[in-house]
A and B are shown apart, each in its own frame.
Chain A
Amino acid sequence: MLNPISLAFKKAKDAKRPALLTYTVAGDSSKKQSLEILKAISNYADILEVGVPHNTPVADGGQIQTSSYRAIKNGIKMNDIFKIVSDFKKIKNSKPVIFMGYYNMIFQYGENNFLKKCKKSGVNGLIVVDLPWPENKIFSKKCKKNSINFIQLLSPTTSNKRLKSITKDAHDMIYYISMLSTTGGKLKVSPKKILANYNKIKKISPKKNCVIGFGITEKTISNFKNTDGLVVGSQICKEITRSLNNRQNPVINVSKMVSKLKKKIS
């Protein structure tokens, strides 16, 4: 039996399109609203990345920082985030959820406790921004034992030698960072170049699902139709901010946006 993440990729492949992955911050702008957003966008997205907000993020740009600080200010705690996922899973059990965050949150929870709680609440995978290879070797093994996908990151600065070692240790999914940027940066590299790097990864590691993230928006997404999956984050976070500023309902606006994104790659 395929794990839920691989199954989501397979379904997208069968439909001849990349999987759509969304990123929203847990607790943005409130626990209840972020759950509502997850429910609404899961009608279109294949995999949901749930951001675990941290207040000293070293890789996030302005939009995701704004969402994260808003969530923290509204009092979100780690246990609330697990609760959001388990509440979501009660309704959409088969939709994969991936946490994306910084290692200190896991470290303070205790690696083992954290993984236990992930399993219990239905988290399927983890992206830990500041736990690179080889520092993540032990933890990623622990994840595997607990049937949680540890998702390795690759970037344009990753050497070929590292690329080989990292993909070898990777589980079912790999995340390629499209360019030198924090999240939310404008796409400053040509899609052609990004796809060339993507294809290099696929050549070395054809069986693993590779997604591209950073700089993917409504404007750029259709350039990448021939890939395993695409992640949109900052544009969604920005839409939440915009909706709140205009006193509109972020749930409706964000779900409209995600539906459009899906159409562009279908």
Chain B
Amino acid sequence: MKLKKRIPVIDQGDRLGFWGGKFGGNFVPETLKKPIEDLELQFNKLKSDKNFIKERDNHFKNWVGAPTRFIKLDNLTKHVGGAQIWSKVVSDANGGAHKIYNATVHCLLAKRSGKKVIIGDTGAGYAGKMLSMAAKKFGLKCKIFMGAKDIKRQQPNVKAMKKNGADVIPVYSGSQTLVDAVSECMRYWVANCDTTAMCVGSTVGPAIFVRICGWSTSQISRELKVQLINEFGEIPKKLKLYNCVGGGSSSFGFWNEFMDYNKKQVEFIGVEAGGPSKSKRHAAPLTYGSKIGILHGAAQYVNQNSDGQIEETESISAGLDYPGISPLHCFLKDVKRARYTAASDEEALKAYQIVTKYENLRPSLEPSHAFSVAIKEAKKFSKDTVVIINSCGDAYKDRGILEKKLGKKYVKSN
């Protein structure tokens, strides 16, 4: 298994859509073969079409708001003592998270193929909120599938979806979280794929969805590369990019443009959700060595029992609460290009407290996982090391959980 240089990772899969010969693929019902093939043909053509790229860039700039800020966290750097700590504030993007990139691209594709309805899954509610925004902008009807447990814990985003005119469909099966929402969304697509486009909310699902999502979020690293050169005149000699990993769309997008650099120069650190420290349950298949299995149409490392039933996960962060992980990250792990670790619920909350104490930044619970590990490791690094954390979501959606866990002042003071 080898990572190739100068070929985008999203295009390094084989004929059947497998990265490294074993991650990804298309484990789908026969009915979906045709719509998937149609989408593949469309995307393969458009991704190098100058007009399409212009259109995308135009929406990213004028609607999403590119570039998002790249800022130094001076107070946090002083407090931690060690590496310089910076953040790419992707939560600046319209809607408050990176999910806007994938949602925008999927709506552009749906529009061009003449579809009138777009459906999507959501966990934290960001993927759903962004899809509802983009659908509204581009004149598509929108249906969002969301686990009943997540509907309860991410109310601000649910309200936003409804305000944008989306149907929010609660999913009551299984653990009532993201995994069940994705299953239900795929089932709906099986029954309606002739009229309806599907957007998968992360770099997961059948191979084409992994590719479209990775292509879309790569906007993050395209911006960062320019910002780094503006700031330092070059790509720093010791650069470390920390990102939380749920399905893996923000992290992949944060890293993509730096793929060909030696990992001694640009290191990628993915932080999965370790769950409550007292619980055996987690959402960290890469960190805890889960076996390869099939989930939502793709082969990947996934939490499962010996029979192949998918296991329930547990995490304070709805966006990371997923038993599987993108085939892209399975590949990056096995070729050793990226390193993966986990932070517990408690560690993420602690990191949230530290960041909000020292900085005027309010990362949601997902990026708080990445901050936790970055803060711990930055202590040990030299001053010329540049640590960057992707602050890919805003904590507004988590106010209910934060108030319950930390008290009112952590919600109000921010």
> Is the beta-carbon distance between A182 and B33 smaller than 8 angstroms?
no
Closest chain A residue to B294, Cβ basis: A104
Q: Which residues of B contact A154 (CB under 8 A)?
A: 30
Closest chain B residue to A78, Cβ basis: B307
Contact of B190 among A65, A102, A132, A180 (CB under 8 A): A180
Looking at B5-13, B191-199, B263-271, B392-400, the stretch in contact with chain A turns out to be B191-199
Query: B353 an interface residue at 8 Å Cβ cutoff?
Result: no
Query: B81 an interface residue at 8 Å Cβ cutoff?
Result: no
Q: How far is the CB of B115 from chain A (nearest CB, A)?
A: 14
Query: A131 an interface residue at 8 Å Cβ cutoff?
Result: yes
Q: Once the chains are docked, how many angstroms separate the CA of A228 from the CA of B191?
A: 25
Q: How far is the CB of B173 from chain A (nearest CB, A)?
A: 6
Decide: A158 near B34, CB < 8 A? Known: A56-B179, A107-B308: yes
Interface residues of A in 32-77 (CB under 8 A from B): 54-61, 65, 69, 72, 77
Query: B165 an interface residue at 8 Å Cβ cutoff?
Result: no
> Is the beta-carbon distance between A180 and B308 smaller than 8 angstroms?
no
Q: Which residues of B contact A180 (CB under 8 A)?
A: 31, 190-194
Q: Which residues of B contact A135 (CB under 8 A)?
A: 16, 25-27
Q: Which residues of A contact B122 (CB under 8 A)?
A: none
Query: B236 an interface residue at 8 Å Cβ cutoff?
Result: no
Query: A245 an interface residue at 8 Å Cβ cutoff?
Result: no
> Is the beta-carbon distance between B30 and A158 smaller than 8 angstroms?
yes
> Is the beta-carbon distance between B28 and A130 smaller than 8 angstroms?
yes
Q: Which residues of B contact A162 (CB under 8 A)?
A: 33
Q: Once the chains are docked, how many angstroms separate the CA of A213 from the CA of B186?
A: 20
Q: Once the chains are docked, how many angstroms separate the CA of A77 from the CA of B306?
A: 9
Closest chain B residue to A179, Cβ basis: B191
> Is the beta-carbon distance between A59 and B294 smaller than 8 angstroms?
no
> Is the beta-carbon distance between B27 and A56 smaller than 8 angstroms?
no
Decide: A157 near B193, CB < 8 A? Known: A108-B293, A162-B33, A177-B31: yes
* Residue of B25, B191, B296 contacting most chain A CB atoms (<10 Å): B191
Q: How far is the CB of B193 from chain A (nearest CB, A)?
A: 6
Contact count band on B: 35 or more
Interface residues of B in 20-69 (CB under 8 A from A): 25-35
Query: A4 an interface residue at 8 Å Cβ cutoff?
Result: no
Complex interface bits, A120-142 against B, C-beta within 8 A gives 1, otherwise 0: 00000000011111110000000
Q: Which residues of A contact B32 (CB under 8 A)?
A: 157
Q: How far is the CB of B27 from chain A (nearest CB, A)?
A: 4
Query: A191 an interface residue at 8 Å Cβ cutoff?
Result: no
Contact of B294 among A61, A78, A107 (CB under 8 A): A107
Decide: A102 near B25, CB < 8 A? Known: A108-B306, A155-B30: no
> Is the beta-carbon distance between A102 and B294 smaller than 8 angstroms?
yes
Closest chain A residue to B292, Cβ basis: A107
Q: Which residues of B contact A177 (CB under 8 A)?
A: 29-31
Q: Once the chains are docked, how many angstroms separate the CA of A135 from the CA of B32?
A: 14
Q: Which residues of B contact A103 (CB under 8 A)?
A: 27, 294
Query: B297 an interface residue at 8 Å Cβ cutoff?
Result: yes
Q: Once the chains are docked, how many angstroms separate the CA of A46 from the CA of B33?
A: 30
Query: B183 an interface residue at 8 Å Cβ cutoff?
Result: yes
Query: B108 an interface residue at 8 Å Cβ cutoff?
Result: no
Q: Once the chains are docked, how many angstroms separate the CA of A2 from the CA of B139?
A: 57
Query: B304 an interface residue at 8 Å Cβ cutoff?
Result: yes
Q: How far is the CB of B275 from chain A (nearest CB, A)?
A: 19
Closest chain B residue to A65, Cβ basis: B173
Q: How far is the CB of A108 from chain B (nearest CB, A)?
A: 4
Query: A195 an interface residue at 8 Å Cβ cutoff?
Result: no
Q: Once the chains are docked, how many angstroms separate the CA of A162 from the CA of B25?
A: 18
Complex interface bits, B190-230 against A, C-beta within 8 A gives 1, otherwise 0: 11111000000000000000000000000000000000000
Q: Once the chains are docked, how many angstroms separate the CA of A157 from the CA of B166?
A: 28
- What is the interface of chain A, defined by CB distance below 8 A to chain B? 54-61, 65, 69, 72, 77-78, 102-105, 107-109, 129-135, 153-159, 162, 177, 180-182, 185
Name 7 A/B residue pairs within 8 A (Cβ), A-sorted.
A77-B307, A104-B293, A104-B304, A130-B29, A132-B30, A153-B29, A181-B190
Known: A61-B187, A157-B35. 7 other contacts (CB 8 A): A59-B29, A69-B174, A104-B304, A132-B29, A157-B30, A157-B193, A162-B33
